Amino acid sequence: MSSKQGTSLVDITKSLLASVQESQQSQDQQQTNEGLMQHKKMSNDTSIDEEEEDQRIRIKENNTQLWTALDLSGQMITTISPKLFHYGFLRRLYLNGNNLRKVPEAILQLKSLRVLDLSFNMLTELPGELGMLFNLKYLYLFGNDLKDVPYEFGNLYQLEFLGVEGNKDFNQEFVNIIAKKGTRGLIIHLRDEAPRLPPPEPRKWIEIGDDGEPNLNPDEQKPAIECDLSSTSSNSFTLMSYNTLCQHYATPKFFKYTPSWALAWEYRRQKLTDEILSYKTNIICLQEVETKTYEEYWVPLMESNGYKSVFHCKSRARTMNDKNAKKVDGCATFFQTSMFELIDKKIIEYGRVVMTQDKYKKTEDIFNRFMNKDNIASISILQHIPTGNKIVLANTHLHWDPEFNDVKTMQVAVLLEELRVLLLKYTNSKDELNKIPLVICGDFNSQTDSAVYQLFSQGSVKEHYDIKGRDYGKFTSEGCTHPFHLKSAYGAINELPFTNFSPTYTNVIEYIWYSTGTLSVRGLLGEMDPNYAKRVIGLPSADFVSDHLPLISKFEFKKSSSAKKVKVDFRDGSFSRKT
């Protein structure tokens, strides 16, 4: 079969599926709660010509690779050369009409494949690794000796057509499912009925020495759940930051690769509870917590475990009736009452702050890009009971869309500016700003090369592609700056390999920032089991029920911060506790 014929087969398949796709899209639309989903990224499932899509992707990625299809059909090939799997750019691969008896496990390296034709070979089984090619849309297996397909095919959530005719002893149950519910129906069946994976290895606890160097010897690292992180020294504390994935976003529409039973809120809530409480940290900062769930579940649960809390929901709740407002998510901060006392609290609503203060210029970008985002920061002023030290703690969740990195940068600029103004009320001079322990944590939806990361870590940002061409007044004309000396806690190990894990996006976007003049990092929660990560295409899964990973850091107060007292009385502040 030539590549031209292969393309024709794809076109024929598309025409056969057109009515089915239209029906499915209509059904998906009915199941979507637009009032909630408009604040979360939605995928575009429109069908376009494969060659046009190749061209579009090349332009978007500035990719110089001019060919992305390879036709090796009808060549009497008996084995596939390992060199083929170096062509990770391939989007269409035709191996039909050969004498292949086996597909190598290395096929998983071709994750860009959209079309794969293995028809009319001598295959009797397929490797589970084929199920890791989550971009596949058309998979042709006609005329082999297959009896079934592996359960890993449940990962192929984008698969539109699976051709299995001509395999005379093929699993009749699978044939019936395809006949009644189509390819998508079989994929859902395989996904939901797949045997559970072996449980992941517990995440390790990484000790950080007095010199700031981490102990990376795996033989000397214990599972974090075996370390009692609540029993710290009198001069230290532990903190968790975790985007828990609000139940309104954890739907089959967004996570087609996750078993439906693993998305059920009752299942996820119990797994989250077990995970969060197992680490026993002194402070727990959660993002994407639904208001009703916070009030009815988390508050009584955490109080029974010795925690009190602060909660602020996103700004859009102000415009809703009470019932709908309860469905809005926000940031929840829990602290152990044996270790901390709440001195004060405050909410920073980024859009509201900018509109009500003259120092923020009301530009077109403010109105058209910034104002319609409802992200917030929840500020807690805590007193560490053993030492008497006061801590300013910010828990935030920035806007998600990578097309609005300028907005995220401006949100951080507003946060840091408001923290500066807040702390100046309780210090004698600007020089004392960095003598007050400050921790800023959350989901920043920003990579390590972003303007957000640069602003936090370097203290300023001006010439950066994230804000190029945008007008936010002096924040872009003069650059964004702040006076704090901040560092990422996970900078001690050059960050984790990832904190967010999905098929199309895996990166570090969550951080715990701390003031280096007052705090030092003495321990960190290590990475997710890498062997487990190789067996799933993304989170959530049965074992990790959020698409994000929790971060945990152990902080120690530096002697200099307690030796030279700074008079800080947050009780007399001008802001109200009624937020």
DSSP 304-317: HTTEEEEEEE-GGG
CB-count burial class (<10 Å; 0-12, 13-18, 19+) for 235: middle
Confirm whether 443 is a catalytic residue.
yes
Angle between helix 3-31 and helix 172-193 axes, rounded to 10 deg: 60
Angle at CA of residue 421, ends 416 and 426, nearest 5°: 125
Long-range contacts (CB closer than 8 Å, 24 or more residues apart) made by 59-68: 63/89, 65/89, 68/92, 68/112
Among 117, 329, 374, 443, the active-site one is 443
| C-alpha pair distances (Å), 527 with each of 196, 346, 407, 503 | 21, 33, 29, 18
Spatial distance between the Cα atoms of 90 and 54, rounded to a whole number of angstroms: 10
Spatial distance between the Cα atoms of 162 and 153, rounded to a whole number of angstroms: 10
* 256: region left, alpha or beta (phi > 0 left; psi from -120 to 50 alpha): alpha
Which is nearest to 566 in space by CA: 419, 391, 395?
A: 391
| C-alpha pair distances (Å), 529 with each of 203, 262, 360, 510 | 7, 19, 45, 18
Spatial distance between the Cα atoms of 294 and 298, rounded to a whole number of angstroms: 5
Which is nearest to 282 in space by CA: 243, 311, 241?
A: 241
DSSP state of 369: I
Burial 16-54 (b: 16+ CB within 10 A, else e): ebeeebeeeeeeeeeeeeeebeebeeeeeeeeeebeeeb
Active site residues: 443
